[in-house]
Structure 1
């Protein structure tokens, strides 16, 4: 168990990396790399798009974009359509962050600061969506639903949501690491490779889906029935 404790401490430790003489958290540097990769990929995928004589690449890209857009619009409704780009951006970032562990790089989502920042951004957008859809008075009125006596609980719920999103993402990513270390201690050959494939690929994508799905549900609840 000493080996597990040491490995866990190493994973929780946020390394500092020197960039142009400045010491920056490793999770931030890796995040910059992921953002650069996503920006470059977006430029390459969207260059030379045509209205006529559509290429296979463009047809596949349009199909993927339409499918994703329809999925989120189905969750949020037409009033929530404006928030789809944010949700897709967050999904791409978290997905790449979770999958980057396959290449031997520590995922940024193992840093509690990163997951907390993602949760806070989502909650700010969720509450903004409610104010935008209902108006200021309507949003304040929703805090007293179904009865004014529930107002403290409704306010507390707003405070709890970012903690829930943050700890769910961070806990699952870290939990997968702990399980892998335990498996390596018990069965050090072959089996860990199979489970690593599951936790680094499948589980990482599942956690991405859960985060954006819950954000979408909270946003739909905040928007209400104002369609």
Structure 2
């Protein structure tokens, strides 16, 4: 099992741009989300029914989950948190379809973690204002040190936790498939590929929401 991601093909411009397996699977996940969203929201009516009713129930439930933590600010951050949740739901569980989860690659989890921390910083700036943010950041030398440390520790923690759990699940499943190739892998896939993937999505989104909540208090 490689920690890195193999190159699938190279784009012949600027001396050659390598496109790894991680990037290809990410494109597949994004395509599924875009096409799925277009199909699910096609022909929606004022009075929901059928699939529209199910989708609205899921979205409404997620919005209430975000509102319970962020209060009146939930509308500003629910779209980002929902997008991350949708991406991670598919990305973490895509191994069920025989594809390698892009979150097995530390570069993917790092990018998601950096995006989340940038969102947290923006939330703090919007809530406190620029000078209020600086005042909070530089309250004392100790606070300055802690706040600077948080800028590195929090994204590293988010990235490493997601990467470690997904990578570990992929490795365990490969070992099981080699040792017991019949029946057992399919049974354990329900946990390692599905349940664990959804759990890691929830943990990532919850921690990001928690950091935003601290930033806007």
What is the TM-score with the length of structure 1 in the denominator?
0.86
Q: Is the 8 A contact 2:63 2:74 kept in 1?
A: no
Please state how far the C-alpha of 1:28 moved relative to its aligned partner.
Answer: 1.0
Quick check: 180-189 or 107-116, which moved more?
A: 180-189
Instruction: For residues 113-159 of structure 1, give each alpha carbon's deviation from its aligned partner in whole angstroms, at most 9, with x where no partner exists.
Output: 111000001100111111011101111222246x5533211221122
Select which of 11, 16, 20 maps to 2:7: 16
CA contact (8 A) 2:67 2:74 kept: yes
Q: Which residue of 2 aligns with 1:197?
A: 190
Q: d(CA) in 2 for partners of 1:89 and 1:113? A: 19
1:64 and 2:58 are equivalent in the alignment: yes
Kindly report structure 1 stretches of 4+ aligned residues shifted beyond 4 Å: 19-22, 181-189
Measured in 2, the distance between the counterparts of 1:173 and 1:179 equals 10
1:92 aligned counterpart, secondary structure:
helix
CA–CA separation in structure 1 for the residues paired with 2:127 and 2:214 = 11
> What does residue 95 of structure 2 align with?
101
Deviation at 1:181, TM superposition (A): 4.2
2:145 to 149, 152, 156: 152
- Whether 2:35 is the aligned partner of 1:44: answer no
The 8 Å contact of residues 90 and 212 in structure 1, kept in 2 or not, is answered as yes
> Counterparts of 1:201 and 1:209 in 2: how far apart (Å)?
12
Task: Name the structure 1 match of 2:78.
Answer: 84
Count of residues in correspondence between the two structures: 213
Q: Is the 8 A contact 1:91 1:212 kept in 2?
A: yes
Q: Specify the alignment match of 1:222 in structure 2.
A: 215
Quick check: 1:110–1:170 contact (8 Å CA) kept in 2?
A: yes
The answer to whether residue 19 in structure 2 is matched with residue 28 in structure 1 is: no
Q: Distance in 2 between matches of 1:176 and 1:55?
A: 38
Deviates more, 1:133-142 or 1:20-29: 20-29
Report deviation, 1:59.
Answer: 1.9
> 1:49 offset after TM fit, Å?
1.4
1:121 partnered with 2:97: no
What's the C-alpha RMSD, in Å, of the aligned pairs? Answer: 1.9
Structure 1 segments unaligned to the other structure (5+ residues): 1-7
- Decide whether the 8 Å contact of 1:80 with 1:220 is kept in 2: no
Please list every run of 5 or more consecutive structure 2 residues that lacks an aligned counterpart in the other structure: none
CA contact (8 A) 1:79 1:133 kept: no
